[in-house]
Amino acid sequence: MNKHRSHFSVFLGCLLAVLTLNASAIELPDIGDSSGTTITPEKERQLGAAFFRSLQGHGAILEDLETQEYLQSIGRKLVLYSDDAGKNFTFFPIAAIAINAFAAPGGFIGVNAGLILNTETESELAGVLAHEISHVTQRHMARSFERAEQLSMPMAVALIGSLLLGVASPDAGLAAMTAVTAGNVQGQINFTRANEQEADRVGMALLSRAEFDPEGMPSFFERLHIANRLTDPKFLPEFLRTHPVTTSRIADSKNRLAEYPPHDHKNSDAYLLTKARIEVIAAKSPGQAVKIFKTALQEGDLGDADNATHYGYALALTGVGKYEKARKELQQLLREDEENVSYLLALADLETRAGNFKKGLRVYRRLNSLFPGYRPVVMAFTKALLRFGQVKQAKALLLDYGIKHGTDRIYYELLSEAEGRDGNTFEAHLALAEYHYLSGETEQAYNQLKIAERSGNLDYYHKQRLLARLEQMEKEMEEEKELQK
C-alpha cells in the first residue's frame, strides 16, 4: 500500500504541474451555468473511464480482486434500487489509508481502503456508497462539468483529477485544487449544501429499499464529525472536506430515520473478511500484521468478527512464511464452512507459496468448479497454471472467461503472457497493448500495436482489427500532445 501511495504522489505532482501551466490559458467550465452544453451520458462515461485508467496506471487502485468484487457486489445491489437501475456503475477500492470516497463522471465510484477500515458496520459502508450513487443519479457531478464537451479528453481528465485527488494525498490534492483556482473553478471542489442534503435523502431511501439499515449513513458521518471537530482543518479527512458535515445536517438525517422501517441488517461474512484482508494489506509489514491479529485473538470478545480475525491471522502468517500455522487456522475455518471462497482462495495461495503445486492446483480446480467465472478465482487459478507451466490450460481458462465476462488490465496482462508462451506473438502484443491502454499508457499501447503489425503475415480480419485500434490511439495521443504544449 505504501508503494501505491508513492506512485500516486508522483502522478499528483505531474498533474499539478500540468494544471499550473495550463489553468490560465484554458477557459474552464463554470458551475451552474446552464447556458453551456450539458455533458452527455456518453461523454460522462468516456471521462470517467479515462480517469479510471489514469488511476490504474499510477497505482492508485487497490489490486485486491476480492475487495474489488465485494465493493462491486454491494454497489450493484444498491444501484438496483436507485433511479438509474440500468446505469453501468463501477465501484473500486483506492489504495490509501486516508478516509475518503468520491464519485467521478459516468458512475465511477472510488472508496479508500482507510474508509472501509473505519466503518463499524456494513450498513455504514453501504451508506457511503448510497450517498455517492445519489450524487451520480441526481446529476450533481455532471452539472459541475456542463462545458466539458469543449475540453480535450486529457484536459477534462486533469480537471476531474484536480477536484477529486485527495484520494491518496490530501495535501497534494489541495495543492492541485489551488492550482486550478486561477481557472475560476474553485467552486467545483465541494458539492453544495443542497447537493449534500439531496444525496443524504435519496441515499437513505436507497439504503432502506436495499434492506440495509438507513441509520448507517448518519451514524458514520456523525462519528467522523465528532472525531474530527477539534482537529486542525488541514488534517481533516478528505471526505469531510469534499462532503461537509454539519450538526444540523446530521440532525436532519437522524430525524428522517422515522420515515423508514427499521432494518436489523447483520454484517455479512464478505464485509468482515474484506476488512480483515485490508488490515493485512495496510499493515506496515507482514510481521506487524501478525502481531495485530495475534493480539486481537488473545484479547478475545470479537463478536461476529471472530472468524474474520482468524482468517486475517492466517493471511498474515502466510505472508511471513509460517505456512503450517496458517494452514491450521484455515483448516479450522473450513471445517465450519467448507465452501467459503475466501478461505479456499487463501488455502490455494498458501499451498502454491509453500511449493505444494499439486495441492494448490487441486484447490484451485475445486474453486473453479464451485465458483465458475468468479474473477478472483479465475485470475488466481490462471497465475498458478502459468507458474507451473500449464500454459494451454491457462490460456483456455482466460479465453473462456473473456467470452462470458468483462475484461480488464489484469486479464490482458495474463493473456499476453499466456499467448506469448504459447507462441502466438501477434495476439500477445495485442493483449499487451490493451494492458498498457487500460493502465493509462497510450503511447506504450500504440507501440505494442506497431510491433504486432510487424509480427508476420496478417489476414484481412486481423489487419482491419489492428488498423481500427491504431487509429483510435493515434487520435488520443494527438490530444495528449496538445495538452503537453
Residue at a domain's end among 193, 224, 259: 259
d(CA 164, CA 134): 17
Looking at the structure, do residues 39 and 98 belong to the same domain, yes or no?
A: yes
Kindly tell me if the per-residue pLDDT of 483 is higher than 60. no
Q: What pLDDT, on the 0 to 100 scale, is given for residue 426? A: 93
Q: What pLDDT, on the 0 to 100 scale, is given for residue 307? A: 97
**Three-class SS state of 111:** strand
Residue at a domain's end among 259, 281, 299: 259
SS (H, E, C) the chain: CHHHHHHHHHHHHHHHHHHHHHCCCCCCCCCCCCCCCCCCHHHHHHHHHHHHHHHHHCCCECCCHHHHHHHHHHHHHHHCCCCCCCCCCEEEEECCCCCCEEEECCCEEEEEHHHHHHCCCHHHHHHHHHHHHHHHHCCHHHHCCCCHHHCCHHHHHHHHHHHHCCCCCHHHHHHHHHHHHCCCCHHHCCCCHHHHHHHHHHHHHHHHHCCCCCCHHHHHHHHHHHHHCCCCHHHCCHHHHHCCCCHHHHHHHHHHHHHCCCCCCCCCHHHHHHHHHHHHHHCCCHHHHHHHHHHHHHHCCCHHHHHHHHHHHHHHHHHCCCHHHHHHHHHHHHHHCCCCHHHHHHHHHHHHHCCCHHHHHHHHHHHHHHCCCCHHHHHHHHHHHHHCCCHHHHHHHHHHHHHHCCCCHHHHHHHHHHHHHCCCHHHHHHHHHHHHHHCCCHHHHHHHHHHHHCCCCCCHHHHHHHHHHHHHHHHHHHHHHHHHC
Q: What pLDDT, on the 0 to 100 scale, is given for residue 423? A: 95
Residue 131 lies inside a defined structural domain of this protein: yes
| C-alpha angle 68-72-76 in degrees, rounded to nearest 5 | 175
| C-alpha angle 238-4-355 in degrees, rounded to nearest 5 | 140
Residue identified by cell 481458462 is 397
CATH number of the domain encompassing residue 363: 1.25.40.10
Higher pLDDT, 187 or 141: 141
Tell me whether residue 132 is one of the annotated catalytic residues.
yes
Least confident range from 138-152, 187-201, 204-218: namely 138-152
Angstrom distances, CA of residue 334 to CA of 331, 341, 346, 367: 5, 10, 11, 13
Mean pLDDT of 368-397: 97
Q: What pLDDT, on the 0 to 100 scale, is given for residue 479? A: 76
Confidence of residue 13 (pLDDT cuts 50, 70, 90): very low
Mean pLDDT of 93-118: 92
Kindly tell me if the per-residue pLDDT of 478 is higher than 60. yes
**Rounded mean pLDDT of the chain?**
82
Kindly tell me if the per-residue pLDDT of 32 is higher than 60. no
Q: What pLDDT, on the 0 to 100 scale, is given for residue 127? A: 96
* Percentage of the chain exceeding pLDDT 70: 78
Taking the CA atoms of 320, 334, 65 and 416 in sequence, report the sign of the dihedral they define: positive
* Percentage of the chain exceeding pLDDT 90: 56
Mean pLDDT of 335-362: 97
Higher pLDDT, 37 or 132: 132
Angle at which helices 409-421 and 391-404 cross, to 10°? 140
Looking at the structure, do residues 252 and 281 belong to the same domain, yes or no?
A: no
How many CB atoms sit inside 10 A of residue 349's CB?
20
Tell me whether residue 200 is one of the annotated catalytic residues.
yes
Confidence of residue 143 (pLDDT cuts 50, 70, 90): low
Mean pLDDT of 339-344: 98
Residue 427 lies inside a defined structural domain of this protein: yes
Mean pLDDT of 106-126: 95
Kindly tell me if the per-residue pLDDT of 119 is higher than 80. yes
Looking at the structure, do residues 217 and 303 belong to the same domain, yes or no?
A: no
Residue 34 lies inside a defined structural domain of this protein: yes
Phi then psi for residue 198, to 5 deg, are -65, -40
Confidence of residue 19 (pLDDT cuts 50, 70, 90): very low
Looking at the structure, do residues 349 and 425 belong to the same domain, yes or no?
A: yes
Looking at the structure, do residues 254 and 354 belong to the same domain, yes or no?
A: no
H/E stretch holding 297: helix 286-299
d(CA 179, CA 239): 20
Q: What pLDDT, on the 0 to 100 scale, is given for residue 358? A: 95
How many CB atoms sit inside 10 A of residue 355's CB?
9
Looking at the structure, do residues 253 and 287 belong to the same domain, yes or no?
A: no
How many domains, the chain?
2
Least confident range from 23-32, 41-50, 170-179, 404-413: namely 23-32
Q: Which DSSP category does 201 fall into?
A: H
d(CA 139, CA 194): 13
Looking at the structure, do residues 338 and 364 belong to the same domain, yes or no?
A: yes
Looking at the structure, do residues 275 and 250 belong to the same domain, yes or no?
A: no
Kindly tell me if the per-residue pLDDT of 113 is higher than 70. yes
Of 44, 64, 66, 132, the active-site residue reads: 132
Looking at the structure, do residues 245 and 321 belong to the same domain, yes or no?
A: no
Confidence of residue 180 (pLDDT cuts 50, 70, 90): very low
Q: What pLDDT, on the 0 to 100 scale, is given for residue 188? A: 41
Q: For the chain, what is the largest distance between any 2 Cα atoms, rounded to a whole number of angstroms?
A: 70
How many CB atoms sit inside 10 A of residue 384's CB?
21
Residue at a domain's end among 229, 259, 289: 259
Looking at the structure, do residues 161 and 249 belong to the same domain, yes or no?
A: yes
Residue 111 lies inside a defined structural domain of this protein: yes
Taking the CA atoms of 344, 345, 348 and 353 in sequence, report the sign of the dihedral they define: negative
Mean pLDDT of 415-439: 96
Mean pLDDT of 332-347: 98
Confidence of residue 83 (pLDDT cuts 50, 70, 90): confident
Q: Which residues pair with 102 in a beta bridge?
A: 110
Looking at the structure, do residues 106 and 76 belong to the same domain, yes or no?
A: yes
The three cell numbers of residue 118 are 473505519
Mean pLDDT of 12-19: 38
Residue 442 lies inside a defined structural domain of this protein: yes
Mean pLDDT of 103-112: 91
Phi then psi for residue 110, to 5 deg, are -105, 145
- 280-306 pLDDT, tens digit per residue, is 999 999 999 999 999 999 998 888 999
Confidence of residue 354 (pLDDT cuts 50, 70, 90): very high
Q: What pLDDT, on the 0 to 100 scale, is given for residue 232? A: 55
Looking at the structure, do residues 254 and 136 belong to the same domain, yes or no?
A: yes
Residue 411 lies inside a defined structural domain of this protein: yes
Residue 354 lies inside a defined structural domain of this protein: yes
Highest average pLDDT, of 43-52, 324-333, 456-465, comes from 324-333
Residue 264 lies inside a defined structural domain of this protein: no
Residue 67's Cβ-side half-sphere holds a number of Cα atoms within 13 Å equal to 24
Of 44, 66, 196, 200, the active-site residue reads: 200
- 218-277 pLDDT, tens digit per residue, is 999 888 888 776 555 556 666 776 777 778 888 888 888 989 988 889 999 999 999 999
**Range of 6's domain?**
2-259
Closest CA to 379 of 354, 359, 401: 401
